[in-house]
Structure 1
């Protein structure tokens, strides 16, 4: 067995205007060395990417395009990930990460105070259901504008009861804005998340909430399969060479074992030439559902997304 251990450092912040606090925020990322940092209330409106780019990080963003709001996730460039599109009521950004056999979805959701809490509950349930094809590990972060420190309040009771029904846990137990716990870390695998902290930085009235994900991957050595490669096989060429081979020498051989050995030798030599033996490493199970039609749709999606990122117009959205 092979064992690998990763420690993923994740953070979230309601930044309340990324552009206004960009220099301080960038210094925070470099200082704390977060692998992933989710941001809410970015207040971005189609500003070009270079204004909020940070060396060593990719930035996945979803702007509101009107005043306020907006979500995004900074991801260290050394991490393999892809953006997942969840159609939710509230603003959100979601990424999918895969470490060998360990997979995790991280979703940043922002609920403005004016939006009914029932939409947040619906989105959390929808996120949990939508995550099933991707991973057993789901983490939802972001400013929910529900104070879970007020455990006797009707909003808190309703909210935490719903999370419990879905098999989810809220892990932040320290104030994140003044005396209130508004910025939450929700997960269906609380045992995988460690060191949940809240640290104040002067440029936002919300604390940065951070945690680590310890990923201990144990898996067997890669499986190898051997096969004959028939991609360039020509039946006519094979038949021609077989016709001029020494196969007819079996008629002068008297021992049956010698006849079988001669036939095997001639045929193996020809197949080695026309359909050589190859070996390959199996790293993923077969996916029979991934048809050519689905692959084409995935390619179309990726091209459209790339086009929109280059030119963020309503036509390309």
Structure 2
């Protein structure tokens, strides 16, 4: 899953087409004008086997999932991606859901793993059911470095006081996603709404909402993601590689130290100073100081499973706050305790293993050298 040529950004697009079988010339012109790399389409209105009805765009591959037959007989709906040739994005198999329309891609750009998804939520579909299905997919398709979700979710984010808006924004917050579209995307006569979204935890720029009346009521939205990781301040650790000490040579040099010189001194401070000097010189010879630079603090005990458990805990907490139902609260509390206990177990196991290894190395050195230090 790599790009054929290195690049620092990818241009994504989103359009609710309201049928790919119509307005094809206008769509082809828009694609040519905006030079999108990966274009998400909602409401293709293509049934299974009808992919040939979609406009064929030179230089692009077409990936499509129709609306399930179990949902309104398969009429309407459907989600798809147009992917520029040379971008080797692969379709990822997500957990099946009988009613939620979604399609996911995996892609690696400059060693950054991306999870790219598009999903369509009809106005009549329960929002919590929809978000639960998306959560299950995002959780199952890890690990990844960044996620990009595009789609018409039919929640008007311009109405910040509605419960659905708050529910959707909380969902974004749980995954640390930023909703990049800030102006109306759907225009009908004198009314407008922001229902088409592009949200991501990657760096973005040049978000454009293009209202092309010939394409319908939904805007043609584009956004560039920038894959340049911010520099973090390195952490420098200085240490002595005690495990590299050769016990026989160490013992020989230790016994060669004139310890009697220390006993002949009358001043205690001078004795301590000379003792420290001898010891420092000995270890400088056999285990000279080394320096290692860490660009982020290692936390190997925070595994992918731990991250998933804490993510599920946060979602359960949010649902408990919203519904105030006793069984939702109890589920959150149980998950909270289990997540905390799992973190303690992972961390304890890690440091116990580190301690045992250090102890074994120390015992090995002492057993071989049998050091006896006497003035």
Scaled by the length of structure 1, the TM-score of the pair is 0.63
- What's the counterpart of residue 141 of structure 1? 150
- What's the counterpart of residue 300 of structure 1? none
Q: Distance in 1 between matches of 2:137 and 2:216?
A: 28
- What's the counterpart of residue 195 of structure 2? 182
Deviation at 1:48, TM superposition (A): 4.1
Q: Which has the higher contact order (CA 8 A, sep 6+)?
A: 1
Q: Distance in 1 between matches of 2:171 and 2:48?
A: 35
Larger radius of gyration: 2
Unpaired runs of at least 5, structure 2 = 1-5, 231-375
Q: Larger helix proportion, structure 1 or 2?
A: 2
Correspondent of 2:34 among 32, 39, 63: 32
Deviation at 1:164, TM superposition (A): 1.6
**Cα deviation code 1:224-259 (max 9, x no counterpart):** xxxxxxxxxxxxxxxxxxxxxxxxxxxxxxxxxxxx
Q: Distance in 2 between matches of 1:32 and 1:148?
A: 25
Distance 1:100 1:19, change over 3 A: same
- What's the counterpart of residue 171 of structure 1? 180
Are 1:80 and 2:80 an aligned pair?
A: no
Q: Distance in 1 between matches of 2:114 and 2:93?
A: 15
Are 1:62 and 2:73 an aligned pair?
A: no
Q: Distance in 2 between matches of 1:153 and 1:48?
A: 38
Tell me the SS of whatever aligns to 1:17.
coil
Tell me the SS of whatever aligns to 1:106.
strand
Alignment of 1:9-48 (within 5 A): 9-48=11-50
Q: Distance in 2 between matches of 1:200 and 1:17?
A: 17
**Once superposed, what is the RMSD of the aligned Cα atoms?**
2.1
Deviation at 1:214, TM superposition (A): 1.6
CA contact under 8 A between 1:61 and 1:72: conserved in structure 2? yes
CA contact under 8 A between 1:92 and 1:110: conserved in structure 2? yes
Scaled by the length of structure 2, the TM-score of the pair is 0.54
Tell me the SS of whatever aligns to 1:139.
strand
State how many pairs are aligned. Answer: 213
Q: Distance in 1 between matches of 2:48 and 2:170?
A: 38
Distance 1:99 1:161, change over 3 A: closer
Deviation at 1:88, TM superposition (A): 4.8
Q: Distance in 2 between matches of 1:132 and 1:47?
A: 30
Q: Distance in 1 between matches of 2:170 and 2:51?
A: 40
CA contact under 8 A between 2:37 and 2:83: conserved in structure 1? yes
CA contact under 8 A between 1:96 and 1:103: conserved in structure 2? yes
CA contact under 8 A between 2:94 and 2:141: conserved in structure 1? no
Q: Distance in 1 between matches of 2:226 and 2:59?
A: 22
- What's the counterpart of residue 132 of structure 1? 142
Q: Larger strand proportion, structure 1 or 2?
A: 1
Unpaired runs of at least 5, structure 1 = 219-317
